[in-house]
Amino acid sequence: MRECIFCQIVEKKIKAKIIGESENFLVFLDIHPHAPGHSLLIPKKHFANFQELPEEYGQEFVKIIKDIMLKLKRVLGTDNFTLGVNEGPLAGQAVFHLHLHIIPRFKNDGGGSIHSVVYNQPKESVEEIYQKIINASES
């Protein structure tokens, strides 16, 4: 996709600090890091979000995540990470080419867990939500 920043990184039209690559994925350092080694893992093909990523990429996706974590662990000396996708604008997605944030975590780094991203306390009980999900017909 011509106007997509991350497609342009894949096509080497925009420079990035690439730290890993496999057949279908690329990993580079985030330009505005929230931690040392904050990396973005993207598919080389343009998929807007995680829901668009075909299932056949699964094994390669898991492998490159693990390879990058190992590389960062060796260099940065931590095996603690926050992994996350901002899926959609309401979740904070700003670049609409799927990217997994891989954020190394350190002692006293001032950050929180995934639980600190949102606390939108449900009005319905867990049981009610559960029943809705279970009873919904497949679409």
* Active site positions, annotated: 99
Task: Tell me which of 54, 58, 88, 92 binds ligand 5GP, using CB under 6 A.
Answer: 92
Q: How many chain residues bind ligand 5GP (CB under 6 A)?
A: 13
Alpha-carbon span 139 to 127, nearest angstrom: 22
Ranges assigned E (strand) in the chain: 18-21, 25-29, 39-43, 81-84, 100-104
Q: In angstroms, what is the minimal distance from the CB of 93 to ligand 5GP? A: 4
Alpha-carbon span 75 to 61, nearest angstrom: 21
Residue 117 contacts ligand 5GP per CB under 6 A:
no
From the list ligand 5GP, Zn ion, none, pick the one residue 134 interacts with, judged by a Cβ distance below 5 to 8 Å according to partner type: none
Q: Which residues bind Zn ion (CB under 5 A)?
A: 1, 4, 6-7, 46, 97
Q: In angstroms, what is the minimal distance from the CB of 42 to ligand 5GP? A: 9
Residues 6 or more apart from 20 whose CB is under 8 A from it?
Answer: 26, 27, 39, 41, 64, 67, 68, 71
From the list ligand 5GP, Zn ion, none, pick the one residue 4 interacts with, judged by a Cβ distance below 5 to 8 Å according to partner type: Zn ion
